[in-house]
Structure 1
Amino acid sequence: MTIKIKYIIAAGMLSTALLCNISCEKFIETDFPSNQIPTQLVFEDEQTADAALAGLYSSLWTNSMYSGGVEGMGALLGTYTDDLSCVYTSSSNGALDLFNNQQIPTNTAVTSFWTFAYQQIYAANSIIEGVRNSKTLSDAVKDRITGEALFVRSILYMQLYQIFGEIPYADTTDYVVNSQLGRMPKNELLLKIETDLSEAINLLPTTYKNAERIYPNKYAGYMVLAKMKMLLKKWNEAEILCSTIMQNSTYVYQTDITKVFQKSGTHIIWQLKPKNTNDATKEASLYTFSGAPTSFVLRPELISLFAATDLRRQNYIATVPFGQQTNYRSAKYKNLAVNNPTEYSIIYRLDEVYLMQAEILTELDRSSEAIPLINRSRQRAGLPTLSNTLSANDVKIQMREEKRREFFTEHGIRFFDLKRWGLLDQLVMVKPNWKSFHSNWPLPQKELLLNPKLNPQNTGY
């Protein structure tokens, strides 16, 4: 029997094939086992293997939790907590229900979020299997591509766990196995993610494959592993990882606030490139409006945290008058349409590592060492530096406030911080529908119907 697909087409299919009730016969006509996609056909040479990897990165930018658009963590978790207000008018809009903390298991935004994530996990698994089974790729190429795919799979699992709680862990493309997976217990799941990240770091190169830093390297892996260690409260290990990044001369703190979100910065650890050359970032397209707001506006509680002299108030936030009302929008990314030669979507930047390290030091009872790290972003914002005489509790408060001012609307950082700090229930002060069980989203009802082993549903739903 003959193969019906070309190699490059097959590579593209890898980014859309996860758990989507599409039989393999729709992709190919071949004598391969009916429960496997013959991904080894895609990996005969480095070019086709890299094409599959490029498809995975493209899907992260287009439709994923890391997308800067309405389907991403920046928007959905920003409106779920207290960074953003959602102003969509459709009563059936999934993001609006998240803003009102009234999500149910059939919420369309939640379902899409889950589906896109597992599609990309499947694509990563396809790449890993294809590379490992290839008889023509060099060991160096195998290591690099496997490391990148493991890295992507790990960050998806880490965030899915923090949003949904216990989830299924798939490391195969066998759709029969995947369709019957139950939710992996917390400790086992976290160990799997931690192990995968460690393996990815071992395989990833130290230097960037591309000067634009659009492919993760070993230090991007260190940063994610440090986040994982913080989640596990392994503070000493997290400190070593953050120190390793901060001491590397590849990364230089950006002192010019007008250049923080420009793609050429040496403070960038990893970023996603728009699909087409000079396309606007999804963040710019989503948050920019004039007159009446159309999607999201910054919440007044956030605006009130900025002193009038804070340069972030001038550079990260735009004031938009409309009639008798004044709205505020995120203006971190500024270039629109096809006139964007300077901006990519930044996923990880050195600034976050500094404030991660500041948090770690407060947890290790070394608050005085955290103060200079907090002062880096304050100095860039034109604010006075914190005194070395602050109490440990005041340092912790200042670190938390500084992190909110610096990272609003960026990939759900606010939600993950509040959850790690045990402070999510404080949202009830500004969000009256908030309930304690909202610390986890509901599992999509569609998934529970397809696979009863995912039961029971999360508490409260």
Structure 2
Amino acid sequence: MKNYKQLYIIIGFLLLSSMTSCEKLIEVDLPANQIASDQVFVDVQTADAVLAGLYSGLRDNSPFAGDQSGKLLGLYTDDLDFYSTTATNGLPEIAKNLQDDSNASIYTDWSTAYKQIYVANTILEGIDQSQSIAEVDRNRIKGEALLVRSILLLYLQQVYGDIPYPLTTNYQVNQYISKTTAVQVLVQLTTDLKASVNLLSDTYRNAERIFPNRKMAELLLAKVYMLEGKWTEAEVLLKGIIQSPLYQFQTDVTKVFLKSGTHILWQLKPKNSGDATKESGTYYFVNAAPSNIALSTDLVSSFSSTDLRKQNWIATVTVNGTSWHRCEKYKNRTANTTEYSIITRLEEVYLLLAEALVQQDKIEGALPYVNKTRERASLLPLEMPLTKENALKEIGFENRREFFTEMGHRFFDLKRTGKLDATLQNKPNWKSYHRFWPIPQKDILLNVNLKPQNEGY
């Protein structure tokens, strides 16, 4: 993790200059179009500029960028296959479970997350010290920064296990920071997300839902509760989201990935007007064998031929009698005016609630929630009698068919339900310790307190 002694805001771009080294920041004078960080939180406009930089970082270079975690974790599990024979970016090793602590893609995944966590901490420190910004704006800014930091740390905890949990921008602290146990990370996330819930409003501050609200914080808190086996607490939060007048279930499978949907909890806007989502390019190939990524046969075969998601979200490419399949969720690759990258949508809330209810042996009460996505896809609804084991299995199937290539859903669902090892044991080179990725060697060399390395690496 890089640390910085001073942060600048480029006013013309409203973004953080967070890629410059500590030494260079000290050596150079402030350019005329920049202001020092201790001046940023004097008014809400400059504070919001820093916050805008945080969201830009999420969109462009973080695990929540549309071309990052969905691809990495899709290859790592069983939803994607990798075809390049010349790639040196670490993806071939991830797809074959041969990754090590020098893997380039894993280092990018880890380091980009911590860069955005640093930016979030900058905002939290600055807003806490501000005396001139109105309380309502301070609460909103702090609540959003806590939420973004939390979603990144939850991702890191699930992928890497015990992780550093930085709460400051002080480089003297961060350069020697130790790991926090996975259990304690969840405890701290509960505290942070409860604070975010109390600070944020249900009302979106932008009609396009490109900034998260209180309900998004409640969803993250429900996810933490489910990882801790607190099913009742999760049920209350998830039902509150579903019952909110802000959200309506999208009943048309062809409209799920349109930015205007009221089933969307949070999405990220492309950088420029007309830009395609990163997802639309990442999974696209046409009229030739894939040279990079394609949907796995195992994934495609999990759909029935009548499933409308297979018909609308998957395209088949056949060359010389051989067929491959690509993801077609986001369809606009040029002049895009209708699609943003969705981070979370209501369908996830329905399936999480179904899972939480089944875990409490409320199987009959869970079925309407899992049947929502099934019936929209023209599948027959699940009916009683259904055992707890089979109900959880069906929810797992539905999660896979609904969320393939979306933000690593398959990986997180399998981990949460304890099925990662059993599901992937037939993958080449799979070992039980692969439930976590290695901490990048570069950071361990810089900070020995990150030892011990994760098991197996």
TM-score of the aligned structures, taking structure 2 as reference length? 0.94
Deviates more, 1:131-140 or 1:274-283: 131-140
Cα 1:180–1:378 shift into 2, 3 Å: same
- Does residue 39 of the first structure (1) align with residue 42 of the second (2)? no
How far has the Cα of 1:6 moved from its partner?
A: 6.2
How far has the Cα of 1:38 moved from its partner?
A: 5.4
Contact persistence 1:7–1:42 (CA under 8 A):
no
Q: Report the equivalent of 2:106.
A: 110
- Given candidates 314, 318, 327, the residue that maps to 2:315 is 318
Contact persistence 1:66–1:347 (CA under 8 A):
yes
Q: Report the equivalent of 2:339.
A: 343
- Does residue 284 of the first structure (1) align with residue 280 of the second (2)? yes
Q: Report the equivalent of 1:329.
A: 326
Q: Amino acid of the residue matched to residue 54 of structure 1?
A: A
3-state SS of 1:442 partner: coil
Q: Report the equivalent of 2:403.
A: 407
User: Where do residues 8-157 of structure 1 align in structure 2 (5 Å cutoff)?
Assistant: 8=11, 12-13=15-16, 15-16=18-19, 24-26=25-27, 39-69=37-67, 72-157=68-153
Distance 1:396 1:409 in 2: 21
3-state SS of 1:117 partner: helix
Cα 1:357–1:42 shift into 2, 3 Å: same
- Does residue 216 of the first structure (1) align with residue 202 of the second (2)? no
Distance 2:244 2:380 in 1: 27
Deviation string 1:89-126 (CA, Å, 9 cap, x unpaired) is 22533111100100010000000111100100000011
Q: Report the equivalent of 1:34.
A: none
Q: Amino acid of the residue matched to residue 351 of structure 2?
A: L
Distance 2:444 2:199 in 1: 36
- Given candidates 301, 304, 308, the residue that maps to 1:307 is 304
Deviates more, 1:391-400 or 1:225-234: 391-400
Q: Report the equivalent of 2:437.
A: 441
Deviates more, 1:128-137 or 1:220-229: 128-137
Q: Report the equivalent of 2:352.
A: 356
Contact persistence 1:4–1:29 (CA under 8 A):
no
Distance 1:404 1:240 in 2: 24
Tell me how large the CA RMSD over aligned residues is.
2.0
How far has the Cα of 1:28 moved from its partner?
A: 5.3
Distance 2:309 2:113 in 1: 32
How far has the Cα of 1:185 moved from its partner?
A: 2.3
- Given candidates 385, 405, 414, the residue that maps to 1:418 is 414
- Does residue 298 of the first structure (1) align with residue 295 of the second (2)? yes
User: Where do residues 220-239 of structure 1 align in structure 2 (5 Å cutoff)?
Assistant: 220-239=216-235
- Does residue 269 of the first structure (1) align with residue 265 of the second (2)? yes
Q: Report the equivalent of 2:164.
A: 168
How far has the Cα of 1:135 moved from its partner?
A: 2.5
Contact persistence 1:14–1:126 (CA under 8 A):
no
3-state SS of 2:179 partner: coil
Cα 1:450–1:28 shift into 2, 3 Å: farther
Deviation string 1:242-261 (CA, Å, 9 cap, x unpaired) is 01001101100000000000
Cα 1:428–1:383 shift into 2, 3 Å: closer
Distance 2:90 2:12 in 1: 32
Distance 1:126 1:215 in 2: 18
Deviates more, 1:91-100 or 1:356-365: 91-100
How far has the Cα of 1:460 moved from its partner?
A: 0.3
How far has the Cα of 1:295 moved from its partner?
A: 2.2
Deviation string 1:155-211 (CA, Å, 9 cap, x unpaired) is 000110010011111111111111110101233222111111111111111100000
Q: Amino acid of the residue matched to residue 221 of structure 1?
A: A
Cα 1:182–1:422 shift into 2, 3 Å: same
Q: Amino acid of the residue matched to residue 178 of structure 1?
A: N
Q: Report the equivalent of 2:188.
A: 192
How far has the Cα of 1:399 moved from its partner?
A: 1.1
How far has the Cα of 1:40 moved from its partner?
A: 2.7
3-state SS of 1:188 partner: helix
Contact persistence 2:276–2:333 (CA under 8 A):
yes
3-state SS of 1:327 partner: strand
Cα 1:7–1:281 shift into 2, 3 Å: closer
Contact persistence 1:355–1:374 (CA under 8 A):
yes
Cα 1:27–1:61 shift into 2, 3 Å: farther
Contact persistence 1:7–1:48 (CA under 8 A):
no
Cα 1:147–1:371 shift into 2, 3 Å: same
Cα 1:301–1:295 shift into 2, 3 Å: same
Contact persistence 1:180–1:453 (CA under 8 A):
yes
User: Where do residues 366-377 of structure 1 align in structure 2 (5 Å cutoff)?
Assistant: 366-377=362-373
How far has the Cα of 1:26 moved from its partner?
A: 5.0
Cα 1:329–1:105 shift into 2, 3 Å: same
3-state SS of 1:269 partner: strand
Distance 2:71 2:8 in 1: 37
3-state SS of 1:202 partner: helix
Q: Amino acid of the residue matched to residue 327 of structure 2?
A: S
> Identity across aligned pairs (percent)?
48
Q: Report the equivalent of 2:3.
A: none
Contact persistence 1:79–1:99 (CA under 8 A):
yes
How far has the Cα of 1:42 moved from its partner?
A: 1.4
How far has the Cα of 1:395 moved from its partner?
A: 1.6
How far has the Cα of 1:336 moved from its partner?
A: 0.3
How far has the Cα of 1:432 moved from its partner?
A: 2.0
Distance 1:190 1:373 in 2: 26
Give the total of aligned pairs: 448
How far has the Cα of 1:387 moved from its partner?
A: 1.7
Contact persistence 2:101–2:438 (CA under 8 A):
yes
| Consecutive unaligned residues in structure 2, runs of 5 or more | 1-5
Cα 1:26–1:59 shift into 2, 3 Å: farther
How far has the Cα of 1:15 moved from its partner?
A: 4.8
How far has the Cα of 1:27 moved from its partner?
A: 6.4
How far has the Cα of 1:389 moved from its partner?
A: 2.4
| Consecutive unaligned residues in structure 1, runs of 5 or more | 31-36
Distance 2:325 2:27 in 1: 48
